[in-house]
């Protein structure tokens, strides 16, 4: 195959090329030189091109390598490399071999650059590295080794051996410090170190390049990357200094405040450099603390010519990152350092804009206030010079914004305070928010600084509003009056005139009582001024109506009635509401003159004119009710109870919603009770309870109602009334206890199903009333027994026992007797439960349960007998015998085990009889105990029943005689 390829190559050559080896070498050299000249530069990092490196080499002697001219050869780097390899295979002399080796290595590096990273290119690069190292090893002191070191580093970098490339470039600089490639090598090494984040070493290399100054074309990029290396090491201040140098060199001459305009003035090829330099400065300053850090830096190092640009760029950078507060502080820092600068107002505007953009309303307003304070025409900033038009324009807007902000804030606070006041009407009223007066100051300053402002009447009106709400009512009234009458006619003048009237009226309400008459006169005068100046004013009749009210307040009743009459009869735009007020003034005046019937007529007319949903309707109703009530009060004072009751109850008929109705109904009922009209009084009192739940008079109403029902022989209704009294916490304990007992007793009397609940309430609420407690629990036992609820009955019985047992020395014969009977009944209940337990097979499982139940019953019987009452004791003794007797019978009747033989059954029965016999004996002994009591003079049904049981159990002994007590002699 090799022979075939060689043949093909020979066939491709021009026929006139010699085929001898010497001629081949000459052709190869010619091709390489041609290729070097024609191949475009594609090598990275500005490495010296091969042609340049070779061109400086001394040509070999013609005797060693004669040059034979041939036709032009098309550039083909791969063919050239192959030819160099063949040349080396021929083992030429040392100079030729070294030259060919260098050229082959350079070609392969160049080809790798051109082809990118491939397996083949990596192979070639490794071969080049090997060749470069061989050359360096063979000629360590060769002064031309700088190019080999450079190319070796380049190959190492391209193959990914960055650290090796860094070391190679270091060797170049150390061994050949005077090389023309030294500056390039330092720069390339710095770049590689930077890429490896070895910023400290990169810093030194960049600084070395910079120290060459004009001796290297890499000064500008080295300076730029030097600053970055410092920044990466957090050496922010030296980094800032470096970038300041770049900006000072690249930015256009003169002072500028617009970053974009300044950068646009930079040479096109330096635009990105300058822009990034400014960016890194802002990054460094941001890390150091923003605007304050910039102030500190400049204080130590002085101001560059472009210092305003730094503050703006820093603020804009922070704003882009939504760091609004830091952006504002950056701009504010300029003002702190240069407070007297002509640019200071503009920077304050930028502070305001930053907070506005961030949505920080309060901070925005504070900065606007700072602007107003610092750049007001009277501020020291101007040093007596007039403020600029730009500042005056901005100041006008800021003053209005400040005023409206504080005005709105004050209104919100006032509304909140009013809501709180409405919730707690007895609480002291809060002082007006101070923000009203803050707003007023800004309104006043606008009026002072901008006398020709078109919006001045509106501002003056707002000033009046702020003063009014801020508690300066008289000043507000004066400002309203100025707004109405102090400017050329404007649309707000009539409104301001009416506001002045209202403000004077408000002022009259605020002054001390001794000054109020004079204040009312001011209000009346302002009202008349409005009526005279604006006869068609929509509020003219309203103002006159208020004048009538003011006259009434001055107690000029006849004049007040006369002015009210004018309003009532007025035509035109008089409203029903104004007529209503006029009637109201008339009614009040008549009432003040003790003419209650005439007052009722006036108030009735007022009520007709008052809409159903109007807030003042309630007051009208109250006034009408009061005029009727006063007539009843007059009759009562005269001793006419029937007429008084009619008037009192007429209050509810005419004005059912009146607040005074409750008092009127109560007084009416009291009059009926005094007349002993029980049924009518009860109806009125029940109506009171329905209409006025939780009323302060409710307790007295219930007491009167209970008496009325009891007097009227209605125990159920009386019991309900007493029950409410018993449950009312405001009553004394004695009153509640007595009411609770009367309630339960009356329920009992009425045979009501509510009686049990009433007794239950009594015993739980008043345990200290022992005797009644005992009786109440006795009734609870009766009701539980009647209800047929075993659990409820058992609980009631136990409570009956507990209340007596727990009384100690307080226990009475009654409580003990009831406890004894309760214990007996509990024993009977337990005995019934015992009888219900059937002894089923296997008996050893059911027997303990029955035995335990029996013991519980025996305990209760024993307890009942312990109280010492004969009838209970005999009954308990009888029940005890029955319990023993039943237990024995249960043993005999118990279920037999299954699968027993006949013999086993017989034996099992005998065993049961043996077990049952002792219980039968106990039963007999117990019955005999009862019979012995005959000798003690006792004989009752339980003794008789005991005798019957003995006759059945022991007929031989007790069944011989049918009558007479001599048969029991043996028991004595």
Cα 590 from Cα 613, distance rounded (Å): 26
| Longest Cα–Cα distance in the chain | 178
Would you tell me how many other CB atoms lie within 10 Å of the CB of residue 416?
A: 12
Give the per-residue pLDDT at 123: 86
Residue 747 confidence (pLDDT): 86
Highest mean pLDDT: which of 128-142, 248-262, 473-487, 828-842? 473-487
pLDDT at position 281 over 90: yes
Tell me the domain boundaries of the chain: 249-383, 538-609, 822-938
Residue 237 neighbours by CB under 8 Å, 6+ apart = 284, 288, 297
CA distance 653 to 670: 18
* Structure confidence at residue 912 (pLDDT): 77
Structure tokens given for 415: 């509304």
Percent with pLDDT over 70 in the chain: 91
pLDDT above 90 as % of the chain: 44
* Cα 537–chain centre separation: 50
- What mean pLDDT is predicted for residues 404-425? 89
Q: What are the C-alpha distances in Å from 468 to residues 441, 443, 463, 840, 897?
A: 13, 13, 8, 97, 105
The dihedral over CA atoms of 886, 887, 892, 896, expressed in degrees to the nearest 10, equals: 130
**The token pair that represents 766 in the structure block:** 């008043």
Q: Kindly tell me if the per-residue pLDDT of 551 is higher than 60.
A: yes
pLDDT at 33: 32
- For the chain, the residue count is 972
Q: What is the mean pLDDT of residues 758-776?
A: 86
Name which residue leads in pLDDT, 263 or 382. 382
In 10 A of CB 925, how many CB atoms?
A: 11
Mean pLDDT, range 355-384, rounded to an integer: 94
pLDDT class for 962, splitting at 50, 70, 90? Answer: very low
Q: What is the mean pLDDT of residues 771-795?
A: 86
Q: By mean pLDDT, which of 119-123, 621-625, 651-655 is the weakest? A: 119-123
pLDDT, tens only, 672-715: 888 888 899 889 988 988 888 888 888 888 888 888 888 888 89
Residue 787 vs residues 782, 802, 828: alpha-carbon distances, Å? 9, 22, 18
For the chain, the average pLDDT equals 85
Q: Is 599 helix (H, G, I), strand (E, B) or coil?
A: helix
Residue 76 confidence (pLDDT) above 70: yes
Q: How confident is the model at residue 81 (pLDDT cuts 50, 70, 90)?
A: confident
CB within 8 Å of 672: residues ≥ 6 apart? 645, 680, 681, 684
Show the DSSP H helices in 675-697 as ranges: 678-691
Cβ atoms within 10 Å of 68's Cβ, excluding its own: 15
**Is the per-residue pLDDT at 528 higher than 70?**
yes
pLDDT score at 960 = 58
| Sequence-ordered alpha helix ranges (H) in 302-360 | 307-320, 324-337, 344-358
Q: Is the pLDDT of residue 209 over 90?
A: yes
Mean pLDDT of 382-389: 94
Q: Are 390 and 367 in contact (CB under 8 A)?
A: no
Q: How far is CA 627 from the centre of its chain?
A: 54
Q: What is the structure's pLDDT at 725? A: 85
Q: What is the reported pLDDT for 272? A: 93
Mean per-residue pLDDT, 869-895:
87
Q: Is 74 or 306 the better-scoring residue by pLDDT?
A: 306
**Residue of 35, 45, 82, 90 whose CA lies nearest to 65:** 90
User: In which band, very low, low, confident or very high, does the pLDDT at 352 lie, cut at 50, 70 and 90?
Assistant: very high
Task: Work out the number of other CB atoms within 10 angstroms of the CB of residue 119.
Answer: 7
Q: At 12, is the pLDDT very low, low, confident or very high (cuts 50, 70, 90)?
A: very low
Distance, CA of 639 to CA of 955 (rounded, Å): 90
- Is residue 11 scored above 50 in pLDDT? no
The beta-carbon contacts of 501-504 under 8 Å, at least 24 apart in sequence, are 501/526, 501/527, 501/530, 501/539, 501/543, 501/546, 503/464, 503/468, 503/473, 503/474, 503/476, 503/477, 504/477
Backbone angles phi, psi at 179, to 5 degrees: -65, 150
Same fold, 249-383 and 538-609: yes
Whole-prediction pTM value? Answer: 0.54
- The pLDDT, as a whole number, for residue 591 is 93
DSSP per-residue letters across 912-937:
HHHHHHHHHHHHHHHHHHHHHGGGGT
Look at residue 35 and tell me whether its pLDDT is greater than 60.
no
Confidence of residue 550 (pLDDT cuts 50, 70, 90): very high
- Name the residue among 463, 460, 468 with its Cα closest to residue 492: 460
- Is residue 899 predicted with pLDDT exceeding 60? yes
Mean pLDDT along residues 568-575? 83
Mean pLDDT (whole number) for 490-514: 94
Peptide bond into 842 cis (omega under 30): yes
In the DSSP assignment, the letter for residue 384 is T
- How many separate helices (H) and strands (E) can be counted in the chain? 45, 0
Average pLDDT over residues 243-269: 85
Confidence at residue 782, expressed as pLDDT on a 0 to 100 scale = 85
Give the C-alpha separation, 125 to 81, whole Å: 13
Evaluate if residue 479 carries a pLDDT over 90.
Answer: yes
Residue 538 is classified by DSSP as T
The CA-based angle 234-238-243, given to 5 degrees, is 105
Q: What is the pLDDT, as a whole number, of residue 6? A: 39
C-alpha to C-alpha distance for 306 and 880, rounded to whole angstroms: 119
pLDDT at 535: 85
pLDDT at 449 over 80: yes
Q: What is the pLDDT of residue 961?
A: 52
Lowest mean pLDDT among 49-63, 334-348, 457-471, 902-916: 49-63
Burial 420-434 (b: 16+ CB within 10 A, else e): eeeeeeeeeeeebbe
Domain 538-609, architecture per CATH: Alpha Horseshoe (1.25)
The C-alpha atoms of residue 139 and residue 98 are separated, in whole angstroms, by: 10
Residue 64 clears pLDDT 60, i.e. is over it: no
**805 pLDDT higher than 60:** yes
Position 597 confidence tier, pLDDT thresholds 50, 70, 90: confident
What does the block give as tokens for 438? 């803050």
Q: Are 603 and 587 in contact (CB under 8 A)?
A: yes
Instruction: Taking residues 882-897, report their average pLDDT.
Output: 84
Nearest to 919 by CA among 940, 893, 897: 893
* Overall average pLDDT of the 422-438 stretch: 86
CA dihedral in degrees (96, 99, 105, 109; nearest 10)? Answer: -140
Q: What is the pLDDT of residue 440?
A: 95
In the predicted structure, residue 199 carries a pLDDT above the cut 70: yes
Report whether pLDDT(750) > 90: no
Q: What whole-number distance in Å separates Cα of residue 367 and Cα of residue 355?
A: 9
Q: Kindly tell me if the per-residue pLDDT of 50 is higher than 60.
A: no
* Structure tokens belonging to residue 117: 């990273």
> What is the pLDDT, as a whole number, of residue 640?
92
Q: How confident is the model at residue 3 (pLDDT cuts 50, 70, 90)?
A: very low
The confidence band for 148, taking pLDDT boundaries of 50, 70 and 90, is very high
pLDDT value, residue 870 = 86
Which segment of 102-111, 220-229, 450-459 scores lowest on mean pLDDT?
102-111
Q: In sequence order, which residues have a C-beta less than 8 Å from that of residue 475 and are 6 or more positions away?
A: 467
The pLDDT tens digits for 944-956 are 999 898 988 888 8
pLDDT in tens, 617-628: 888 889 999 999
CB 920 within 8 A of CB 885: yes
**249-383: in CATH 1.25.40:** yes
Q: What distance in Å separates the CA atoms of residue 934 and residue 972, rounded to the nearest whole number?
A: 9
């Amino acid at each position: 195959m090799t022979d075939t390829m060689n043949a093909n190559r020979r066939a491709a050559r021009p026929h006139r090329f010699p085929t001898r080896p010497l001629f081949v070498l000459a052709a190869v050299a010619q091709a390489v030189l041609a290729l070097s000249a024609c191949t475009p530069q594609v090598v990275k990092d500005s490495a010296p091109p091969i042609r340049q490196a070779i061109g400086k080499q001394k040509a070999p002697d013609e005797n060693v390598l004669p040059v034979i001219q041939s036709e032009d050869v098309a550039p083909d780097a791969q063919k050239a490399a192959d030819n160099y390899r063949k040349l080396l295979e021929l083992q030429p002399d040392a100079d030729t071999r070294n030259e060919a080796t260098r050229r082959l290595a350079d070609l392969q590096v160049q080809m790798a650059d051109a082809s990118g990273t491939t397996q083949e290119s990596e192979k070639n690069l490794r071969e080049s590295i090997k060749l470069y190292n061989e050359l360096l090893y063979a000629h360590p002191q060769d002064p031309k080794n700088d190019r080999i070191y450079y190319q070796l580093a380049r190959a190492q970098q391209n193959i990914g051996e960055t650290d090796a490339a860094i070391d190679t470039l270091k060797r170049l600089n150390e061994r050949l410090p005077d090389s023309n490639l030294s500056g390039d090598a330092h720069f390339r090494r710095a770049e590689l170190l930077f890429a490896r984040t070895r910023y400290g070493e990169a810093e030194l290399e960049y600084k070395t390049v910079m120290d060459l100054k004009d001796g290297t074309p890499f000064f500008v990029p080295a300076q730029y990357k030097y600053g970055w290396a410092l920044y990466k090491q957090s050496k922010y201040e030296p980094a800032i200094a470096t970038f300041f140098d770049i900006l000072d060199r690249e930015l256009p001459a003169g002072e500028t405040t617009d970053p974009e305009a300044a950068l646009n003035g930079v040479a096109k090829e330096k635009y990105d450099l300058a822009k990034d330099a400014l960016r890194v400065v802002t990054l460094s300053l941001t890390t150091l603390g923003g605007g304050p850090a910039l102030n500190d830096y400049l204080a130590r190092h002085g101001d560059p010519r472009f210092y305003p640009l730094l503050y703006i760029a820093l603020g804009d950078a922070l704003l882009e990152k939504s760091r609004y507060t830091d952006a504002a502080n950056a701009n504010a820092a300029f003002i702190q350092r240069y407070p007297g600068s002509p640019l200071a107002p503009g920077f304050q505007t930028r502070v305001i804009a930053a907070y506005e953009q961030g949505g920080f309303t309060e901070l925005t307003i504070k900065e606007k206030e700072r602007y107003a304070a610092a750049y007001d025409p009277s501020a020291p900033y101007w040093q007596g010079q007039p403020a600029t038009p730009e500042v005056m324009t901005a100041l006008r807007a800021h003053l209005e914004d400040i005023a409206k902000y504080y005005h709105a804030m004050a209104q919100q606070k006032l509304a909140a305070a009013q809501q709180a006041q409405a919730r707690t009407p007895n609480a002291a009223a809060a002082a007006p928010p101070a923000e009203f007066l803050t707003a007023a100051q800004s309104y006043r300053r606008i009026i002072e600084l901008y006398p020709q402002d078109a919006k001045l009447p509106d501002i003056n009106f707002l000033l009046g509003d702020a003063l009014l709400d801020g508690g300066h009512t008289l000043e507000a009234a004066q400002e309203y009056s100025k707004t109405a009458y102090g400017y050329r006619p404007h649309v707000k003048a009539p409104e301001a005139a009416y506001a002045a009237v209202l403000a004077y009226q408000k002022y009259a309400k605020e002054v001390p009582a001794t000054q109020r008459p004079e204040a009312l006169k001011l209000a009346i005068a302002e009202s008349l001024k409005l009526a005279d100046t604006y006869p068609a004013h929509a509020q003219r009749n309203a103002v006159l109506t208020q004048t009538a009210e003011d006259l009434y307040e001055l107690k000029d009743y006849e004049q007040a009635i006369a002015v009210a009459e004018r309003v009532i009869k007025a035509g035109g735009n008089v409203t029903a509401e104004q007529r209503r007020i006029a009637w109201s003034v008339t009614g009040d005046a008549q009432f003040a003159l003790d003419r209650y019937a005439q007052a009722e007529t006036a108030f009735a007319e007022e009520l007709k004119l008052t809409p159903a949903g109007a807030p003042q309707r309630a007051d009208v109703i109250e006034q009408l009710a009061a005029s009727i009530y006063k007539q009843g009060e007059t009759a009562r004072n005269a001793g006419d109870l029937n007429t008084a009751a009619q008037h009192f109850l007429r209050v509810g008929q005419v004005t059912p919603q009146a607040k005074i109705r409750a008092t009127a109904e109560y007084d009416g009922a009291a009059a009926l009770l005094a007349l002993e009209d029980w049924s009518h009084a009860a109806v009125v009192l029940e109506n009171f309870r329905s209409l006025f739940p939780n009323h302060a008079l409710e307790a007295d109403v219930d007491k009167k109602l209970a008496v009325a029902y009891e007097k009227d022989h209605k125990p159920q209704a009386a019991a309900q009334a007493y029950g409410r009294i018993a449950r009312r916490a405001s009553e004394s304990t004695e009153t509640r206890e007595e009411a609770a007992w009367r309630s339960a007793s009356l329920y009992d009397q009425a045979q009501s199903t509510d009686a049990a609940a009433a007794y239950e309430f009594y015993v739980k609420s008043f345990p200290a009333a022992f005797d009644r407690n005992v009786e109440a629990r006795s009734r609870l036992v009766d009701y539980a027994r009647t209800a047929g609820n075993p659990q409820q009955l058992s609980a009631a019985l136990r409570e009956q026992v507990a209340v007596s047992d727990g009384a100690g020395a307080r226990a009475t014969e009654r409580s003990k007797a009831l406890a004894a009977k309760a214990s007996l009944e509990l024993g009977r209940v337990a005995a019934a439960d015992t009888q219900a337990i059937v002894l089923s097979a296997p008996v050893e499982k059911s027997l303990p349960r029955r035995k335990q139940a029996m013991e519980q019953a025996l305990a209760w019987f024993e307890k009942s007998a312990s109280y010492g009452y004969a009838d209970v004791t005999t009954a308990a003794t009888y029940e005890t015998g029955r319990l023993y007797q039943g237990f024995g019978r249960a043993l005999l009747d118990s279920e037999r085990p299954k699968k027993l033989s006949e013999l086993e059954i017989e034996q099992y029965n005998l065993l049961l009889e043996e077990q049952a016999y002792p219980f039968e004996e106990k039963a007999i002994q117990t019955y005999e105990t009862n019979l012995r009591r005959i000798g003690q003079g006792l004989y009752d049904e339980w003794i008789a029943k005991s005798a019957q049981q003995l006759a059945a159990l022991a007929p031989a002994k007790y069944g011989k005689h049918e009558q007479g007590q001599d048969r029991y002699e043996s028991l004595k």
